[in-house]
Every structure is written in C-alpha cells, then in structure tokens.
Amino acid sequence: MAEVDEQRVCIKFCVRLGKTGSETFEMLKQTFGDSCMSRSRTFEWFGRFKNGRTSTANDDRSGRPSTATTLSKVEQVQAAVNQDCRRTIHDLCAEVGIGYGSCQQILTEQLNMHQNAAKFVLRVLTQNQKDSQVAICQELKETVINDPTLLLNVITGDESIVYAYDPETKLQSSQWKSPGSPRPKKARMQKSKLKMMLICFFDQERIVHREFVPPGMTVNADFYCDVLRRLHENVRCKRPQKWRNQNLIIHHDNAPAHRSFKVSQFLAKNNMTVIPHPPYSPDLAPYDFFLFPKLKLQMKGRAFDTIEEI
C-alpha cells in the first residue's frame, strides 16, 4: 500500500510539472517496473490531480466495514482446510459463511496457502517401507565395501511382457528431409494382442538363462522353482567357475512367487544366496532400467509372426 501511495505522489508531481498522462505512465513504468499501476489507473489519478485534488489517500466508502476477514473467520477457514485440504473455495464459503473473494483472500494472504496438484509417484510408501529401504540399502553398501567382488557373482532376473509387435517411437520414425520436401506421415498403430512373458537372468558377462512362460501359465511358486532349477543347470554349463565355488547370488524383486516358502526352500537347498530387495525400488533393479528397455527398443517397429521369431 505504501508503494501505491508513492506512485500517486509521483503522479501528483508530474501534474505540477506539466507532464501529460502518457509521459507520466512511462515514467512510472521506468521507475517501478512490474509493480507499476495500470495505465487506466494512472490516467484516473492523473485526472483527479489535474482537477485540483490534493490528497493521495483513497476515498471514504459508504456502508459498514467488512467483517469477513476477522480473526474468528480466519480460524474457521484454517480449521476447515486442516480437516479436509481438498475442499474448494465454494465449499469453504458455504461452511464459513463468507464471500468467495474474502475466502480467497484469507487463504492466500492471511494463511499463505496455495493450491497445488498432487505429484505422481510410483508408490506411496508407508513409514515401515521407507525404514526398510534405508536399512536394506545400508546393508548392501556395507556388504559391497567389505567384499568388492560381490557384484561379480550376482545373477539378477525378472519377468517382462514382450509383444509380437510394438509400434516404433517418434524418435525412431524421424528422417532427414530438405526444406521443400513434405513432412513424413505415419498411421497410428497399436500393440499387438499376441504377447508372451519373458523370464530372463543375466550377470556381468551376458544372459545366463531365458525362457518364455507358456500361454495360459501363471508364474507361481511351483513354476518359478522349475525356472530356478533350469537356471541352476545353465549356471553349471555356462559359469563353471561360479558352480565350482558354490557362490551363486540371486537377485530378484519381491513378487509373491519370488518370496514364497517353497522358493526359499529351493534356494537354501542349492546354496543360492538371495540379495534383499527394498520394497518398490525399481532403481535397484538392473533389468528394469538396463536390460528390458534396451531389448524392447530394438524390437519396436518389427513384427513377429510367432514367439519363436521373437
């Protein structure tokens, strides 16, 4: 408010100097920048001072003073927002009994609140899950520090859906063209209905074991034990050094089939250690940000008639 009064004083001074309204507005813009009053408001006060007005204060208004922004109303609005932060201004106005503008003024000026949309995250974790993430990550860090060769023995794996046809990305379909040539076009394509679930395990060298889940089959504890049995045999053939050392370290996520009692029994019986995986932590899953995205990127835009071709 003090800055507005200062601008009115400047307008009054420009009137005494014989400046025009346009010159006065330009001088205000240069002096006050973005906080300068509008052009129409400047000309309004310029005309008042030119007609003999001397006071820079606002005119007295008739009627009773506003009682909407009293301390009690502010407390009522704050209590209503604390009870349900998703209430609209119209709901708050109806509950507290004030106007829309007064309610908005209380929220923004008195309570210093702003309405923001919720941020999208993959999963809203509980406090126990957050504590578990921290504990597991610290444990993994200490284990790697004590044994630098640990990651060399890790075999990580997971399942992912593979489509017989997946449309290529916009970047893949881009092509060089001269200024006079027409822009290339392509029809919108959908993913094919033919799809299979791929199970893949790999280590620091290359893929150790992969297989497709038969159509209609669910990856349950029994099927996953059979997969681990075939993985165990492939390790014996492809990684004889790890087989002889009996130092097999398996890393998979917390899917129900992976952490079932039957799978835990199989892993313990075959001396296969499992690295703990923090709940809902895709950043610690190499197959999610390294293997599967690169594999599917090469398949985009290519059509496969059978699963054998995939």
Span 197-216, pLDDT tens digits? 888 998 888 888 888 888 88
Please tell me what DSSP assigns to residue 3.
H
What percent of the chain shows pLDDT beyond 90? 2
pLDDT beyond 70 at 64:
no
> What are the distances in angstroms from CA 298 to CA 82, 169, 301?
51, 11, 8
pTM: 0.55
**For range 22-39, the mean pLDDT:** 85
| pLDDT score for 225 | 92
Higher pLDDT pick, 147 / 62:
147
Instruction: Mark residue 30 as left, alpha or beta (left: phi above 0; alpha: psi -120 to 50; beta: remaining).
Output: alpha
Contact 200, 158 (CB under 8 A): yes
Tell me the C-alpha distance between 232 and 211, whole Å: 14
Could you please report the per-residue DSSP string of 237-254? HH-HHHHHHT-EEEE---
Contact 252, 157 (CB under 8 A): yes
Contact 236, 226 (CB under 8 A): no
Minimal CA–CA distance to 169: which of 310, 302, 290, 301?
A: 301
What percent of the chain shows pLDDT beyond 70? 91
Q: What is the pLDDT of residues 238-292, one digit of tens each?
A: 888 877 777 788 888 888 888 889 998 988 888 888 888 887 776 677 777 778 8
Q: In degrees, to the nearest 5, what angle opens at C-alpha 252 toward C-alphas 248 and 258?
A: 105
Minimal CA–CA distance to 251: which of 156, 160, 158, 159?
A: 156
Other CB atoms within a 10 A radius of the CB of residue 306 amount to: 8
Q: Which residues pair with 165 in a beta bridge?
A: 303
Could you tell me the two tokens for 44? Answer: 């309004």
pLDDT beyond 70 at 310:
no
Q: Which residues pair with 231 in a beta bridge?
A: none
